[in-house]
Amino acid sequence: MLDLAIIGGGPAGLTAGLYATRGGLEEVVMFEKGMPGGQITQSSEVENYPGIVDIVSGMELMQEWPKQCMRFGLKHEMAEVVRVSRPEGLCYKIELSDGSSVGAKSVIVCTGSTPRRAGFDGEEKFFGRGVSTCATCDGFFYRDKEVAVIGGGDTALEEALFLAKICSKVYLIHRRDEFRAAPSTVERVMANEKIFPVLNSVPVEVYGDEMGVSGLKVKKKESGEILDLPVPGVFVFVGSDVNNGVLKQEDGSFLCDMSEWGEVVVDLAMRTSEEGLFAAGDVRIMAPKQVVCAAGDGANAAIGAIAYVEHLKREKLC
């Protein structure tokens, strides 16, 4: 029986592992289906992690994190978790994709979220090298330059407003003839001199070279006309999928309370509605979707898990 199972080995999971092992939990396993590091390893440039002065790639940022955790006894199992349940009593059951399962006194879910792709040519090739899904992360790289934003909902418009503070011009490309965002947000966008809505239009191809993106081709839906926008940065905001599948039970319900968008509901200590079950990072409600925030969540959740497991042990409950 594990003291703690951590699901996911991104910034949240690794930091949870560091704090849990260093804080005295003995059997702590981090289940990660790929290499540890999380989605930031797809980024070619990160410059907003505190204490890291130079611009580094996501891979460089994360490379020492696993080593630091392993030093304190965190075990990494390269395995995909398919379900976390609580079949009987207080303990959790972690089911893996190979059919095996393991028991745990406490669980921290750190499975992140996956930004959706819009599906135009070159999007995947240039992802992290000019195509981005995060204005807070990458907007600054395009200071005083022109960028394009794809999307018509609240996030796309809020991010366009954010980028307009940094960039010289923001093309806002939306496939419909009106935006789906809150009316007050639409009003702010329309009043912003730096934002140029390109409505009834879809992105068809982002292009560039090994240095990154140099332009985006956009098709006007009615006329078929192609606009060639000379932008080095393309920001895609067409929604994101929360990786909450591990919490889905056999009957289709979730193990703990979830928001209407499928994010895990937590309190300020990262506790879910189920005692001993925590969630940290991009998978939780109101996640700022930043490495530093995910790491902070992981530490916070681990501190809660330590207290919970100690209580179980004291009371001989699990």
Ligand X SMILES: Cc1cc2nc3c(=O)[nH]c(=O)nc-3n(C[C@H](O)[C@H](O)[C@H](O)COP(=O)(O)OP(=O)(O)OC[C@H]3O[C@@H](n4cnc5c(N)ncnc54)[C@H](O)[C@@H]3O)c2cc1C
Which residues lie near ligand X (CB under 6 A)? Answer: 7-13, 31-34, 38-40, 42-43, 46, 48, 80-81, 110-112, 128, 134, 137, 243, 246, 281-282, 289-292, 294
The least distance separating ligand X from the CB of residue 55, rounded to whole angstroms, comes to: 10
To 10 degrees, the CA torsion angle through 198, 199, 204, 209? 20
Which amino acid is it at 277?
L
Nearer to ligand X, 32 or 146 (CB): 32
Q: Is 110 a catalytic residue?
A: no
Nearer to ligand X, 50 or 183 (CB): 50
Contact present, 280 and 297 (Cβ < 8 Å): yes
Contact present, 242 and 265 (Cβ < 8 Å): no
Nearer to ligand X, 130 or 197 (CB): 130
Question: Pick the catalytic residue: 69, 91, 110, 137?
Answer: 137
The least distance separating ligand X from the CB of residue 176, rounded to whole angstroms, comes to: 26
The least distance separating ligand X from the CB of residue 190, rounded to whole angstroms, comes to: 29
- State the number of CA atoms in the 13 A half-sphere of 184 facing the CB: 0
Question: Pick the catalytic residue: 3, 138, 282, 297?
Answer: 138
237: which residues sit within 8 A by CB, 6+ positions away?
133, 149, 150, 151, 153, 155, 156, 159
The least distance separating ligand X from the CB of residue 46, rounded to whole angstroms, comes to: 4
Nearer to ligand X, 198 or 301 (CB): 301
Q: Is 251 a catalytic residue?
A: no
Helix 11-22 to helix 291-314 angle (10° resolution) is: 40
* Residues taking part in catalysis: 134, 137-138
